[in-house]
């Protein structure tokens, strides 16, 4: 099994920023993100990529800048290095979260994994969301070239300024015939039907086991630019029937407010499989002819079926010796055998005995010792790999929380509405903000200053209109310039919360920025309602009538 996480966070960038691209750069020996125009698409494209801290889900994401004309596509890719060679895995899962600022002119999002298998060929596990035709497509080898095939699964354009989760799963055989199994889009699982074919190509790649991950954007024929982000990009590969090594799940992944990712559910499922696929040995029992070995029940109550039970047995006794019709003992044993029927558990014992100067006589004397061994092949209940919503049992159903995103700003913000503290819900609130330059000032004597941020609210302790200290500002005139901050304040119920954001820019073209502000209740007035009791976050409780 191989699992490579946070691929988007690899810090090395090697690509061609200019649209006059000379072609693919030489592949480095280790991790590095690269990009170039996909010559298989018409038109032109160019791109750039870098690590950013906003927007992000897990702390750091990778930004992909893309410009296209005439349906041009830009391919971003990363070779996973000699330390991650894997030629044996035949099952793969490609998982990521994607965020697009403006998807209006993006016609295709492509997500590929390439693997050099033992016969020297490169298997391309290719999947793309083709918004132009509304279909998820998969790739196969047709006369030596990659061909895109329509699947039975539909897709619609992804919404702007929002994180979307994607999980692709597929498997191959030894020759490179790929079967595309399923896709999960924003928690909705769709299974592919009849989506398979030869996807092995003679590309001459070395060494065997090479893995390469692709992400590509194609245009719709117009001249435009777009920005996308990936976060939590990870690849998991395994052999069919391979036990998934038990791995602890960080409890922080299950905290209220955290996105419950498909990989976490899959990890829990794999842990269960690892445990259930471990043989369970049951106590030995002694049985005689005609008796049945009962179906055992697992230590956790799991009800085994016959197909899951294997029997190990040995002789306990071939006696007691029986007498013939005249009362004479039949002492000698020329042959004896026993069997436990796999389908029914029925024990059969046959013993032939001889008395002096006589022919063998058949008896059912004796007994055997049987040890049932269980190997589970079912799960009850089965855990789905479908991504679900965050858990609600540890969080107020009506907890006050939210966010706003304000884009294409070319001036200061004053008195910008944030939210209203609900009636009866005064108390501590956390407000977090981040702002980033999205277009630098240019022409003349360009300059830019971001921030600071000032919050206006009514204090819960003295009912007075209050203002937080203005945050520090940043005067860098580059796309990497950003500021962020967080504050906790005591807000009065049924009052409005607003904010100001300062701005200064000079030049023929002024600086443009995006600001994101989020808020949430730090100490709700009550916790979960369980069995008629409302628990709060301090360990106390009050009865709810």
Confidence of residue 336 (pLDDT cuts 50, 70, 90): confident
Q: Among 283-287, 322-326, 358-362, 434-438, which is the least confidently predicted range? A: 322-326
pLDDT at 398 over 60: no
pLDDT at 387 over 60: no
Which has more pLDDT, 326 or 39? 39
> Average model confidence (pLDDT) for the chain?
83
Fold exhibited by the domain 2-242? Jelly Rolls (2.60.120)
Predicted local confidence at residue 12, as pLDDT:
58
Q: What is the pLDDT of residues 437-472, one digit of tens each?
A: 989 999 889 999 988 899 999 999 899 999 988 888
83: phi then psi, degrees, rounded to nearest 5: -75, -10
Residues 6+ apart with CB under 8 A from 456: 415, 465, 466, 467, 497, 498, 499, 500
- 232, 239, 354, 380, 386 from 266: Cα distances, Å: 15, 16, 62, 15, 8
pLDDT at 331 over 90: no
Say what percent of the chain tops pLDDT 70.
Answer: 80
pLDDT at 541 over 60: no
Predicted local confidence at residue 447, as pLDDT:
92
CA distance 85 to 68: 34
Q: Among 7-21, 293-307, 422-436, which is the least confidently predicted range? A: 7-21
CA distance 103 to 220: 10
Q: What is the pLDDT of residues 290-318, one digit of tens each?
A: 999 999 988 777 788 898 899 999 999 88
Predicted local confidence at residue 451, as pLDDT:
81
- Choose among 121, 247, 111: nearest CA to 180: 111
Confidence of residue 394 (pLDDT cuts 50, 70, 90): very low
Spatial contact of 14 and 34, defined as CB atoms under 8 Å apart:
yes
The domains of the chain are located at 2-242, 246-277+377-391, 281-374, 401-521
305's tokens: 């079926």
Spatial contact of 15 and 250, defined as CB atoms under 8 Å apart:
no
pLDDT at 144 over 90: yes
Predicted local confidence at residue 141, as pLDDT:
96
CA distance 14 to 478: 20
Q: What is the pLDDT of residues 185-199, one digit of tens each?
A: 988 889 999 999 999
Predicted local confidence at residue 322, as pLDDT:
63
Q: Among 126-130, 288-292, 472-476, which is the least confidently predicted range? A: 472-476
Residue 4 neighbours by CB distance under 10 Å: 19
Predicted local confidence at residue 280, as pLDDT:
84
- Mean per-residue pLDDT for 350-370? 81
- Mean per-residue pLDDT for 109-126? 97
Predicted local confidence at residue 526, as pLDDT:
43
- Choose among 104, 134, 306: nearest CA to 224: 104
- Mean per-residue pLDDT for 386-409? 61
Predicted local confidence at residue 298, as pLDDT:
83
pTM beyond cutoff 0.95 = no
Classify domain 401-521 by CATH architecture.
Sandwich (2.60)
Predicted local confidence at residue 69, as pLDDT:
93
Predicted local confidence at residue 16, as pLDDT:
44
Predicted local confidence at residue 202, as pLDDT:
95
Whether the domain at 2-242 and the domain at 401-521 fall into the same CATH topology: yes
Predicted local confidence at residue 396, as pLDDT:
47
Residues 6+ apart with CB under 8 A from 470: 451, 452, 453, 454, 502
Predicted local confidence at residue 31, as pLDDT:
62
Report which DSSP code applies to 323.
Answer: B
- Mean per-residue pLDDT for 365-383? 75
- Mean per-residue pLDDT for 403-409? 82
- Mean per-residue pLDDT for 357-367? 80
- 110, 141, 439 from 501: Cα distances, Å: 38, 54, 17
Q: Among 238-252, 258-272, 344-358, 438-452, which is the least confidently predicted range? A: 238-252
Predicted local confidence at residue 176, as pLDDT:
96
Q: Among 125-134, 242-251, 306-315, 521-530, which is the least confidently predicted range? A: 521-530
pLDDT at 285 over 50: yes
- Mean per-residue pLDDT for 225-245? 82
- Mean per-residue pLDDT for 493-513? 92
Q: Among 66-70, 135-139, 256-260, 511-515, which is the least confidently predicted range? A: 256-260
Confidence of residue 495 (pLDDT cuts 50, 70, 90): very high
């Amino acid at each position: 099994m191989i699992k490579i996480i946070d691929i988007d966070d690899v810090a090395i960038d090697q690509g061609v920023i200019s649209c006059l691209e000379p072609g693919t750069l030489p592949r480095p020996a280790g991790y590095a993100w690269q990009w170039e125009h996909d010559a298989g698409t018409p038109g032109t494209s160019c791109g750039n990529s870098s690590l950013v801290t906003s927007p992000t889900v897990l702390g750091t994401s990778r930004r992909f800048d893309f410009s296209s004309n005439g349906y041009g596509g830009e391919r971003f890719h990363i070779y996973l290095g000699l330390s991650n060679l894997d030629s044996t895995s035949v099952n793969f899962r490609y998982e990521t979260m994607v965020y697009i600022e403006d998807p209006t002119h993006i016609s295709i999002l492509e997500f590929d994994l390439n693997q050099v298998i033992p016969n020297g060929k490169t298997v391309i596990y290719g999947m793309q969301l083709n918004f132009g035709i509304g279909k998820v497509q998969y790739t196969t080898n047709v006369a030596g070239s990659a061909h895109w095939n329509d699947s039975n699964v539909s897709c619609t354009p992804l919404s702007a300024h929002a994180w979307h989760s994607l999980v692709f799963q597929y498997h191959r055989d030894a020759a490179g015939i790929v079967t595309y199994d399923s896709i999960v889009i924003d928690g909705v699982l769709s299974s592919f039907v009849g989506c398979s074919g030869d996807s092995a190509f003679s590309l001459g790649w070395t060494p065997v086991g090479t893995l390469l991950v692709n992400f590509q954007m194609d245009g719709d024929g117009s001249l435009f630019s777009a920005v996308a982000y990936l976060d939590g990009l990870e690849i998991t590969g395994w052999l069919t029937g391979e036990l998934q090594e038990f791995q602890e799940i960080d409890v922080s992944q299950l905290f209220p407010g955290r996105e419950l990712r498909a990989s976490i559910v899959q990890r829990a499922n794999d842990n269960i499989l690892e445990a259930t696929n471990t043989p369970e040995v049951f106590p030995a029992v002694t049985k005689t002819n005609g008796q049945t070995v009962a179906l055992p029940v697992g230590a956790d109550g799991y009800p085994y079926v016959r197909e899951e039970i294997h029997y190990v047995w040995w002789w306990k006794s071939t006696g007691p010796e029986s007498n013939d019709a005249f009362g004479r003992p039949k002492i000698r044993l020329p042959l004896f055998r026993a069997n436990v029927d796999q389908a029914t558990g029925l024990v059969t014992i046959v013993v032939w005995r001889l008395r002096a100067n006589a022919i063998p006589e058949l008896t059912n004397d004796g007994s055997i010792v049987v040890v049932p061994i269980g190997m589970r092949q079912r799960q009850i209940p089965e855990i789905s790999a479908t991504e679900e919503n965050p858990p609600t049992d540890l969080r107020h159903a009506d907890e006050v929380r939210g966010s706003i995103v304000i884009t294409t700003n070319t001036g200061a913000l004053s008195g910008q509405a944030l939210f209203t503290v609900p009636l009866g819900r005064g108390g501590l609130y956390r407000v977090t903000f981040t702002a980033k330059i999205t277009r630098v000032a240019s022409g003349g004597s360009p300059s830019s200053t971001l921030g600071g941020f000032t919050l206006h609210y009514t204090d819960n302790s003295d009912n007075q209109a209050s203002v937080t200290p203005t945050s520090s500002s940043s005067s860098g005139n580059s796309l990497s310039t950003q500021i962020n901050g967080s504050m906790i304040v005591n807000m009065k119920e049924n009052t409005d919360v607003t904010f100001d954001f300062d701005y200064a820019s000079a030049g023929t073209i002024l600086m443009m920025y995006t600001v994101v502000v989020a808020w949430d209740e730090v100490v709700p007035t009550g916790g979960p309602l369980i069995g008629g009791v409302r628990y709060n976050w301090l360990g106390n409780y009050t009865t709810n009538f």
